[in-house]
Amino acid sequence: MTSKQTRQATASEAALLRIFTLPEAPHSTLSQIEKNLSENLMGFLKENIVAVEKPLTEIEKDFQAHQIPASPSFVSDYAEQMMQTLIAHSVHTSAPSFIGHMTSALPYFVLPLSKMMVGLNQNLVKIETSKAFTPLERQVLGMMHHLVYGQADDFYDNWMHSANHSLGAFCSGGTVANITALWIARNRLLKADGDFRGVTASGLLSALRHYGYDDLAILVSTRGHYSLGKTADLLGIGRDNIIQIPCAKDNKVDVVKMRAAANELKARNIKVIAIVGVAGTTETGNIDPLNALADLAAELECHFHVDAAWGGASLLSNKYRHLLAGIERADSVTIDAHKQMYVPMGAGMVLFKDPQLANAIKHHAEYILRKGSKDLGSQTLEGSRPGMAMLVHACLQVIGRDGYEILINNSLEKARDFAELIKQQEDFQLVSAPELCLLTYRYVPAKVQRLLKQAVLDNDLNKVSQINGLLDGLTKFIQKRQREQGKSFVSRTRITPEDNLELTSVVFRVVLANPLTGDDILQQVLEEQREIAQQDNPFLPQLLTL
Amino acid sequence: MTSKQTRQATASEAALLRIFTLPEAPHSTLSQIEKNLSENLMGFLKENIVAVEKPLTEIEKDFQAHQIPASPSFVSDYAEQMMQTLIAHSVHTSAPSFIGHMTSALPYFVLPLSKMMVGLNQNLVKIETSKAFTPLERQVLGMMHHLVYGQADDFYDNWMHSANHSLGAFCSGGTVANITALWIARNRLLKADGDFRGVTASGLLSALRHYGYDDLAILVSTRGHYSLGKTADLLGIGRDNIIQIPCAKDNKVDVVKMRAAANELKARNIKVIAIVGVAGTTETGNIDPLNALADLAAELECHFHVDAAWGGASLLSNKYRHLLAGIERADSVTIDAHKQMYVPMGAGMVLFKDPQLANAIKHHAEYILRKGSKDLGSQTLEGSRPGMAMLVHACLQVIGRDGYEILINNSLEKARDFAELIKQQEDFQLVSAPELCLLTYRYVPAKVQRLLKQAVLDNDLNKVSQINGLLDGLTKFIQKRQREQGKSFVSRTRITPEDNLELTSVVFRVVLANPLTGDDILQQVLEEQREIAQQDNPFLPQLLTL
């Protein structure tokens, strides 16, 4: 059964063991490779372009092999190959002209720290495999909890490191954070009761029978993030039971309509599990009236969750945190540190007002997560997890409240300046003004703006529809061409502008989170879009001859 | 509204922008900090100790502050502080004497690559924020699919990069992989049908009504991973509906009993969603009879999932992959690359036999994941995700099949050797022999072994129970003290040994995945345990005077 002979170190085996052994010399091959990789990466990050344009189908040719290669490769050869095929065709998410998504620049000190984090290879599911990382993660959650809820000192002294309490849950991102929050809300609502063992043990069918509800629902605005639909699917609630309430013209949920919907559900014996407030919608960056939603949740006796995955970072600004007033009344709040907190990808959090909340999803196992332990894994959706909280911890300390104050304020004010700049252009139309640092707009020649305005006044749906359709084509054309040119990147989405006879339009979407994005770049973005609009396309000529 | 004045670069603002700006000189402060951190990390990793022992409550004192500090810190000060408070009190998961968990050594080349990955900060949810990382991830999934299912070339040519197909889903770990697989199984079973819009849209209650089932169930052995209970809770199925089937004495599920349970459920109109086979149980490392389970799943017309989170890596050994025979008949398979594939934490996967399978959980959103795109996010539980697949890609290329063959074979054979070594000791008892590289054992003085054997023969439950209780106390004492001494670490769990009158016992649990763990270390582990057994404790004296 055993075979000591075959375990004699052969030459290839010795080579293999070397890769697990610490490189001794500062000038080892690995150090050299690291230096080359760093230089290549820095070279890539220094060039202010979004990406070398190459069609995806071309890139795929470098990733065709479907068999794991038989022979090992030299690390140097592999690194060389990746610089050509992967780095060169990555997206330069930290470029100052990459203003299309919430992924932005990173402070450079996170790079050596992340290498350290990976090297330590801690597993946060359990203290036995993470030790000091566990109190560190609890501290990060405590600090973020304090940012949102601002409880008194003894609150944190009592609960931050308590085995049976959680001020939040760290996870890979906002989607898992939202799922966790609503999973808790569902389980608290359908808790054990007398002989009934709760939805946790007995499932949704028995739970609805026990409590006598005909169905469940979650209320959120039409601007809620798509992860909520995924959550409803996963939790067995069903996507159709995410009741989407229309927004007012300011892209904030209409609370009167939400209350009416809740009453209507109640009449149908459908129980509302939770109301979700959006604090920074993905498409327009607006914040729901959180205090009014908190009032409604209290009336309905349901869970109040705020999805502040992106907007939550604005709480770090004393000047602007009033925009999120009422968030401290939420039972749970999602915040992604990898959005405007400038932490690398993979750092999501959900915070719980009540430190007992997460007990609704608590679980144990004999070989891990024993009862009474401080293991973080007993209250998380994920199991094994890396020590990403360390990078949040680092940013909170190194940047500090004062640093974030400047970063967030500049970002919001840059968005206001850009909105002004757009308004000054006669051939651009600001579609949604920035409440945080996100805005939408489109290119509309002055003449067409006048035509559109008149058609709206005339209530001429055909005409508005015709103009709108051509503008959609033009906006898509500009956005794609600009991305292909590789100098800058804005994203696009579909929203319903004011005064558009309820018609949905394609718009440019800009997120101004990168501290290095200057006014000059924003001007260039508009100039480039104006130039592209004149390039060969069927839309502009038709618009101009209307 | 705008405020250009406040955006004038002040001194502190300039300092802040610098941290987002590339460090120019090779001898910059950041380079120096990185060097210090690396040296400290290497120093930590070089010492063959598990961790400096310090009570958790002491460590927590360094992580007490609950307010984000107002003033920024220097990176150098922060790094210095972390070396003292965090690194020094981390768990040395890669130490050759850390043989208690599945987290093991890393090949050092992943460190520079991971720094590059973090620096590029790609978001794999969408091609616009990941570009070449998307085909790279699809290739990794293709290679892993081929490892499990070994389909013909044209299968991979057709589906690996197809927009409407997925050979698998990458995720943060095995728990999310298992959830994804069973979510798909549930949604396929309760799919849209005529006017019924499917469980996805309408929820579980409507779905069960439509299909006329009284409830749902999932079948798995008593050794199934705790993530399955979490999955049942999350999906609304209920933990009690995870039907745990007893194992035979070899810790493999008893398929006769599983078939009987399935028939009994059918009689009660409870539909089996899925059978889960375990390929490498967490506690004993055994593999269920996968072919027999595949037959049963076919009979029941249900989904067959294999949780090979840990054992799946053994497929990389041509010599031992026969141990997992039948895995290629599974509809879905979970494999964690961060276990025995030597990839850092955060690299889980679920593979789908049928490339259409994941369409059961497909979702779209206007600003992201447009229909027909190759965006990976439309079929994953998580939303924003880092480019961890790159590190799996790197290991597959740099280690290669030949390299993994040696690593896996050595690991399995080392476990067999260690089992032999334990058997040769008169005061140790091997409790479960290794099928892969995991085994369990306990310290039982020779005299006590004889007493226990006799008590079992006499069917004297009181006596067996008395001895067993004392042995449990002793095993726990040894395990904790060994961990505290910090030279080596084995874990412990509770299982039911053969010939123990069905009584559960505490045992040492060892995973021999680290390529650097030598025979000498294994001998030392036993010697240390023997020594600790003699130290001041109430259990050994009582056992010896029985």
Average pLDDT over residues A295-313: 98
Nearest to A201 by CA among B269, B179, B185, B232: B232
* CB-based contact A90 B20, cutoff 8 Å: no
Does residue B175 fall inside a structural domain? yes
The answer to whether the CB of A381 falls within 8 A of the CB of A175 is no
Does residue B32 fall inside a structural domain? no
Element (DSSP H or E) covering residue B336: strand B332-336
* CB-based contact B368 A226, cutoff 8 Å: yes
Average pLDDT over residues A151-162: 97
Tell me which of B331, B357, B385 is where a domain ends: B385
- pLDDT tens profile A71-108: 999 888 999 999 889 988 888 888 899 998 888 889 98
The answer to whether the CB of B243 falls within 8 A of the CB of B273 is no
Which residues neighbour A406 within 8 Å (Cβ) at sequence distance 6 or greater? B10, B12, B13, B16
Residue A161 sits in a domain whose CATH number is 3.40.640.10
Partners of B146 on chain A (C-beta within 8 Å) are: 66-68
For residues B475 and B335, membership in a common domain is answered with no
Which chain B residue's Cα is nearest to A384?
B173
Structure tokens at A497: 């502008």
* CB-based contact A139 B65, cutoff 8 Å: yes
* CB-based contact B85 A132, cutoff 8 Å: yes
Which chain A residue's Cα is nearest to B409?
A7
Neighbours of B476 (CB within 10 A): 14
pLDDT of residue B369: 60
pLDDT of residue B5: 44
pLDDT of residue A242: 97
For residues B285 and B147, membership in a common domain is answered with yes
The alpha carbons of chain B give a radius of gyration, in whole angstroms, of 26
Which chain B residue's Cα is nearest to A366?
B493
Q: What is the DSSP letter of A223?
A: T
Partners of A67 on chain B (C-beta within 8 Å) are: 143, 146
* CB-based contact A241 B364, cutoff 8 Å: no
Partners of A5 on chain B (C-beta within 8 Å) are: none
How many helical (H) and strand (E) elements, i.e. helices and strands, does chain A have?
Answer: 17, 11
- Does the pLDDT value for residue A183 go beyond 70? yes
Does residue A83 fall inside a structural domain? no
Spatial strand order of the sheet with A505-511 comes to A428-432, A438-443, A505-511, A491-495
The pLDDT confidence band at residue A2, using thresholds 50, 70 and 90, is very low
* CB-based contact A176 B382, cutoff 8 Å: yes
Does residue B28 fall inside a structural domain? no
Structure tokens at A389: 């909280």
Partners of A413 on chain B (C-beta within 8 Å) are: 2-3, 6-7
- pLDDT tens profile B85-123: 998 888 888 889 999 888 888 998 998 899 889 999 999
Average pLDDT over residues A118-123: 92
- Does the pLDDT value for residue A4 go beyond 70? no
* CB-based contact B112 A369, cutoff 8 Å: no
Q: How far is A136 from chain B (nearest CA, A)?
A: 6
Q: Which domain holds residue A329?
A: 122-385
Tell me which of B315, B350, B385 is where a domain ends: B385
Question: Which of A89, A99, A108 would you mutate first to test chain B, the one with the most B CBs within 10 A?
Answer: A108
Portion of chain A with pLDDT greater than 90, in percent: 75
- pLDDT tens profile B180-202: 999 999 999 999 999 999 999 99
* CB-based contact A346 B386, cutoff 8 Å: yes
* CB-based contact A381 B6, cutoff 8 Å: no
- Does the pLDDT value for residue A30 go beyond 90? no
For residues B423 and B477, membership in a common domain is answered with yes
For residues A236 and A293, membership in a common domain is answered with yes
Average pLDDT in chain B: 92
Which chain B residue's Cα is nearest to A131?
B90
For residues A287 and A148, membership in a common domain is answered with yes
Average pLDDT in chain A: 92
Portion of chain B with pLDDT greater than 70, in percent: 94
For residues A221 and A321, membership in a common domain is answered with yes
**Partner residue facing B66 (CB), from A13, A160, A230:** A160
* CB-based contact B229 A363, cutoff 8 Å: yes
Measuring CA to CA, how many Å separate B16 from each of A362, A518, B31, B67?
A: 41, 15, 18, 21
Does residue A25 fall inside a structural domain? no
Neighbours of A59 (CB within 10 A): 22
Spatial strand order of the sheet with B215-221 comes to B168-171, B348-352, B332-336, B303-307, B270-278, B215-221, B242-245
Average pLDDT over residues A164-180: 96
Residue A431 sits in a domain whose CATH number is 3.90.1150.10
Q: What is the DSSP letter of A448?
A: H
Does residue A96 fall inside a structural domain? no
- pLDDT tens profile A333-358: 999 999 999 999 999 999 999 999 99
* CB-based contact B68 A401, cutoff 8 Å: yes
Tell me which of B385, B410, B435 is where a domain ends: B385
Number of domain units in chain A? 2
Could you report the predicted ipTM of this complex, rounded to two decimals? 0.94
For residues B219 and B244, membership in a common domain is answered with yes
Average pLDDT over residues A389-412: 96
pLDDT of residue A533: 97
Any bridge partners for residue A492, and if so which? A508
For residues A417 and A303, membership in a common domain is answered with no
Average pLDDT over residues B157-184: 96
Tell me the residue type at A265.
L
For residues B409 and B489, membership in a common domain is answered with yes
For residues A223 and A274, membership in a common domain is answered with yes
The answer to whether the CB of B173 falls within 8 A of the CB of B225 is no
- Does the pLDDT value for residue B1 go beyond 70? no
Q: How far is B545 from chain A (nearest CA, A)?
A: 30
* CB-based contact B78 A397, cutoff 8 Å: yes
Which residues neighbour A102 within 8 Å (Cβ) at sequence distance 6 or greater? A310, A336, A339, A340, A511, A513
Does residue A472 fall inside a structural domain? yes
The winner for highest mean pLDDT among A17-31, A115-129, A170-184, B14-28 is A170-184
Q: How far is A167 from chain B (nearest CA, A)?
A: 11
Does residue B78 fall inside a structural domain? no
For residues B183 and B330, membership in a common domain is answered with yes
CB pairs under 8 A between A and B: 583
The answer to whether the CB of B252 falls within 8 A of the CB of B293 is no
For residues B307 and B408, membership in a common domain is answered with no
